[in-house]
Structure 1
Amino acid sequence: MCSKDPYFFQTLANDLGGSTAMDSSSLPEQETGNCTSETGSVPAVTEEVRLRRFLCYGSESATYRAREQRNLCLERASSVTELLAAGRGGEAVQEVRSMSLRGGVRSPGPALFALAVISQHSDVEAKRAAYGVLKEVCTSPSELFSFVQYKKELSGAGQRGMWGRALRKAVADWYNGRDALRLAHDVTKCKRKGGWSHQDLFRLAHLKPANDAVALVSKYVTKGWKAVQETYADREKTEDVMKVFVYLEAVEKTKHSSDELEVAHLVEEHKLEREHVLTKHLKSREVWKALLKEMSVSTLLTHLGKMTADKLLGPGSPDTAAVCERIQDEHALQKAKTHPLSVLLAAENYKRGHGKRGKLKWKPNRDIIQALDSAFCKCLSNVESTGKRFVVGVDVSSRLGSVALGSLVSTVTVAAAMSMVITRSEPNSDVLLFSEGAVVPCSISADSSLLQITMQLVQVCSSYTDCTLPITWASENDKMVDVFVIFTNNETWPGRSNPAETLRTYRQKTGILSKLIVCGMTTNSLNVVDPDDQGMLDICGFDSHTVSVIRDFIMDVI
């Protein structure tokens, strides 16, 4: 069925809520950036680039998959072993450290795995460097447990034993290097993971507490709260020890209290988090109100469905109004650098009324939907310009109503939102609708709404895909382009020529080292770009991390 079907239009309009109109006066003026591309040959894909790709999304290939491949192994991190073999283990450690500190990685797993590999190697300096950055790379107990598990798996594969002096010291330093009150928060929020617990690590690392406050946490972890009470209840305490004692006491009271008002008071006074609260108390309005005061916007967005399902967010209620105010808090959105696509994905998931897994269902609250649409608009100004010249090509050879792999969002919504974000943040950009033999420029003005852009995308319907057309259009119209971004639903490309070859021809003609990103939104396998060309990237599906991958690729990080 062609996308011109009126029922499809109505359904789409209902799904989008029709409330994403933009106020151009609220958007900051963007300065036109000059092109910084240099002519010359395309840089080779080096070990450093492959390592940064691995650290960014768990694969060294030129393909990012929204459906995550969870198994990390030496074969997928060959760049690490190659750098170690070349005596460049220290450089690998610094890449791990810098990528972890800058953020934007899909998960900490690859960085922790890379450090575990380096720490197992015979290069003494590289091992020392790997352990030396462990405190910076591991920011939570969950990550420390993962690192230790990777060490165990690598040791079990026939490598040297893991609990030597260096690992014991590194783990002990991790605990002793944290502020005691923060450590109390960490050990009570995340108690175990992957078969490891804090008690295990304290014992295996032969931990000797660095001060009295850490000693209190150590006794709590190894002996329990009753032993802490017996030892510290009547003892004179320093200020730091008292803070830790009072915090742990609040955690224990929260675990055993049946009074939701008392739990709410403890949460608010001691800044406890959801993980500290029993499941039965998460149906309490008072407890949620207390949790929301310190909850980040990103965490709040993930819990909207649960809160609605538990009848905590009724239509027109004060609680709903408070949550809507938090969602639209422009200062908080800017401080967190929330990307509009992150809000959009959360909004579309919320509108569906059910989670990806499990049986959780809810009736979407229209006030929440409108707040999310408003937050999307406000976050547009959070996207920093790259200063590059863009052509965005949207393949309209097939219906764009299917769901993007890795999310619950329709492909037409993804394409429209990305087109909107790029044109708002990049002054020099064109959006094209294309199918076999046809290229139609898509007009997106400063006050175009997401719904209006979406309607432009679905009104053209053809039969075949030719992903070379946006590049050819740029060449024929003498457009100077730094980045081509192509969105398509199809898994095959029956075009007359190859996109990679067409891009090389364009580069030769213009002298610009243009980059090509092809996003196959419904496939988990894509082979369009040249994997040996550092200026080409395949994307399979679309998830909340995709926008970070695209930006890092454009800015030569990966």
Structure 2
Amino acid sequence: MEPSGSTASNHTLNSTGSPWEVSDEARLRRFLCYGSEIDVYTTRKEGRFSMENAGALLSLLQEGRGVEVVEEIKKFTQDGQAVRLGPSLFALALCSQHSELKTRQAAFKALKEVCRDPAHLFSFIQYKKELKEGMKCGIWGRALRKAVSDWYNEQDAMSLAAAVTTCKQREGWSHQDLLRLAHTKPSRDAVALVSKYVTKGWKEVQAAYADKENSEEVAKVLAYLQVVEKVKHSCDETEVITLIEEHKLEREQLLTDHLKSKQVWKALLKEMPLHSMLKMLGKMTSSKILEPRNSETQTICERIQSESVLKKAKIHPFTILLALENYKRGQGYQGKKKWEPDDSVLQALESAFYKSFMNVEPVGKRLLVAVDVSTSLSSVVPGTAVSTAVAAAAVTMIFARTEVDTHVLAFSEGTVAPCSLSAQMTLAETTAELVKLPTGSTDCTLPITWAVENGKSVDVFIILTNNPCWTLTASPVESLKKHREASGAASKLVMCGLTSTGHTIADTEDRGVLSVCGLDLGALSVIRNLAQELI
């Protein structure tokens, strides 16, 4: 989505020929990636979006480039480039009610590709409602009715049955609302069955299908819905467990009372996705479902460190690290749940951390990761149980182990020390290696100056600091420009304030400079996108 004056590498040229101007296209990509048009990614949860958040998006729509915008939305959601999906859903909702017919048509056509599950669809509808507030027209025109109907009609019937029983409502909308307002006419018998179940309830479905000659697909969906209804009305623990195991029922399909049973949790564990399991380790230990050397603990430990399971779930090392440090903490964030961490679970998580490096796709760039050791790295990354020292070591290991060309530096008050990290080093050993330098004041230009003085060509500088109030002998942006001139590289700079909650390093209109506040898996995705010139 570049104007004719662009280079092949997605740079937008300005009148002086600089490739680093922050164009509307660049601002749109930032918005689709992490929900803000400015050069700051923050790990804090997003709020609701409005027209005020999307100046570049509105400008591009006014220029008649709505179809290109929709293509960009699809690309970010389908290729996993979006850190948060909310911005894309908001942007698609805005495109779907633009004055230009081609843009509206493209947006509605993209609905089923962007909204992959009911939660996305409900959020899209709510954004449309919010954008229409204050106007005298409603949102349920013919185009939206058709798009929503197509969303339901084009689903696999069994997947749809599972979706409507696990995610029943969000954002004030339910499936019953959407099917009624869209006047959906089911495209085939199995979808008609699910639609009737949602809008009329199980009793009417039983009455309508009891004596019918049903197709194989309808019979399969009918049997599944019967199980879902049966478990909802069952007080028999043994029956609930049997239904979970035989039909792979999920936690969302059970009653709150069911989830008070250890045996029910043990049944759920057998098919629980690894991402969900990692989040539930503390709760399951607190509830005595996981106890030292019991069969459930052994099974979980085997799954956590199974290479095939890790690969299938595409678990990132940073996700494992968050789970490990949170479990080690022995207490939930609200302080209500407490547990005694099980040693075998801790060992399994540590083993999984190293094995999951296979899931990190290299960016294929020359990187320099620099860790600021001028202040104590003993504080904690906001919103996590991870110390800043361990977080810095983990990020360093992730890039050093997966990229062919990565330099690692520790720096403090005029001193820059290259670090030798081998692939055999543990997280603890890497952390110790990084904090060997004596502390002093912070100057985040030092790693860039070191690269210039040592003739190192760097594509991306990643500077990790614990100090939001650093001392600058020069502007990091100016230092970056000098490195670009000296090396000929199209260098970029990421300044990551590990304990920051919202500052920025400088007012810059340089597209190759980005601030990260805090640290989470999304931050690593943002860095990756910047390195590959996707934002």
Which TM bucket (shorter chain)? Answer: over 0.9
Letter in 1 for 2:527: I
TM-score by length of 2: 0.94
Q: 1:454 to 1:159 in 2, by over 3 A?
A: farther
Q: CA RMSD in A?
A: 1.8
Distance 2:319 2:100 in 1: 41
Which residue does the alignment assign to 2:254?
277
| Pairing 1:68-79 to 2, within 5 Å after superposition | 68-79=45-56
Which residue does the alignment assign to 1:199?
176
Offset of residue 293 of structure 1: 3.2
Distance 2:259 2:436 in 1: 45
Deviation string for 1:211-245 (max 9, x for gaps)?
11111111111111111112212322111111111
Offset of residue 160 of structure 1: 4.1
Indicate which of 389, 392, 396 corresponds to 1:412. Answer: 389
Q: 1:101 to 1:423 in 2, by over 3 A?
A: same
| Pairing 1:202-351 to 2, within 5 Å after superposition | 202-351=179-328
Within the alignment, does 1:105 sit opposite 2:76 as a pair? no
Aligned length: 522
Greater CA deviation, 219-228 or 157-166? 157-166
Greater CA deviation, 282-291 or 98-107? 282-291
Please give the secondary structure, in 1, of the residue aligned with 2:515. Answer: strand
Please give the secondary structure, in 2, of the residue aligned with 1:397. Answer: coil
Indicate which of 494, 513, 516 corresponds to 1:539. Answer: 516
Please give the secondary structure, in 2, of the residue aligned with 1:557. Answer: coil
Which residue does the alignment assign to 2:378?
401
Offset of residue 424 of structure 1: 0.8
CA contact (8 A) 1:328 1:371 kept: yes
Within the alignment, does 1:497 sit opposite 2:474 as a pair? yes
Indicate which of 378, 388, 400 corresponds to 2:355. Answer: 378
Which residue does the alignment assign to 2:464?
487
Distance 1:144 1:385 in 2: 33
CA contact (8 A) 1:283 1:310 kept: no
Indicate which of 429, 435, 445 corresponds to 1:468. Answer: 445
Letter in 2 for 1:182: S
Offset of residue 497 of structure 1: 0.7
Which residue does the alignment assign to 2:530?
553
Distance 2:33 2:455 in 1: 35
Please give the secondary structure, in 1, of the residue aligned with 2:455. Answer: coil
Indicate which of 57, 82, 96 corresponds to 1:119. Answer: 96
CA contact (8 A) 2:262 2:287 kept: no
Offset of residue 259 of structure 1: 2.0
Greater CA deviation, 324-333 or 279-288? 279-288
CA contact (8 A) 1:37 1:482 kept: no
CA contact (8 A) 2:244 2:267 kept: yes
| Pairing 1:45-56 to 2, within 5 Å after superposition | 45-56=22-33
CA contact (8 A) 2:10 2:533 kept: no
Which residue does the alignment assign to 2:108?
131
Distance 2:136 2:85 in 1: 23
Structure with higher RCO (Cα < 8 A, 6+ apart): 1
Which residue does the alignment assign to 1:140?
117
Please give the secondary structure, in 1, of the residue aligned with 2:357. Answer: helix
Q: 1:486 to 1:157 in 2, by over 3 A?
A: farther
Which residue does the alignment assign to 2:412?
435
Distance 2:331 2:430 in 1: 27
Which residue does the alignment assign to 1:170?
147
CA contact (8 A) 2:410 2:435 kept: no
Unmatched tracts of structure 1, length 5 or more = 1-35
Distance 1:207 1:358 in 2: 46
Unmatched tracts of structure 2, length 5 or more = 1-8, 12-16
Offset of residue 547 of structure 1: 1.3
Within the alignment, does 1:61 sit opposite 2:38 as a pair? yes
Please give the secondary structure, in 2, of the residue aligned with 1:135. Answer: helix
Please give the secondary structure, in 1, of the residue aligned with 2:521. Answer: coil
Distance 2:335 2:376 in 1: 29
CA contact (8 A) 2:367 2:458 kept: yes
Distance 1:271 1:358 in 2: 32
Q: Give aligned-pair identity as a percent.
A: 54
Distance 2:134 2:527 in 1: 35
TM-score by length of 1: 0.90
Letter in 2 for 1:474: A
Which residue does the alignment assign to 1:9?
none
Runs of 4+ off more than 6 Å? none
Distance 1:484 1:160 in 2: 50
Offset of residue 286 of structure 1: 3.7
